[in-house]
Amino acid sequence: MLNVEEWMDIHLLSRQGHSIRSIARLTNLSQNTVRRALRQQHTHQPYDTSNRSSKLAQFKPYVE
C-alpha cells in the first residue's frame, strides 16, 4: 500500500516526463505498482458503508 507521499512522488515524476520504468527504478517500486498509482485519480478511495444494514437488523425489535 502506498502512502500519500509516495503517490505524489510517482505523479510528480510522471508529469516531469519520466517513463513508468524509470519511475519504478527511482522509487524502488515495481512497474505494476507505478502503473496502478498513475491510474488512480486520488490517493485512496474510501469504502462507502453508509447504506449498509446489519444482518441482525430484522431481529432488533425482538432483542430490545
Domains and their CATH numbers in the chain: 1-44 (1.10.10)
pLDDT at 47: 58
- Name the residue with cell 515495481: 30
Q: Is the pTM higher than 0.75?
A: no
DSSP 6-29: HHHHHHHHHHTT--HHHHHHHHT-
**Residue 2 reports pLDDT greater than 70:** yes
- Radius of gyration of the chain from Cα atoms? 20
Q: 35: pLDDT confidence band, cut at 50, 70 and 90?
A: very high
Which cell numbers in the block locate residue 26? 527511482
**Residue 41 reports pLDDT greater than 90:** no
In this structure, the number of other CB atoms found within 10 A of the CB of residue 3 comes to 10
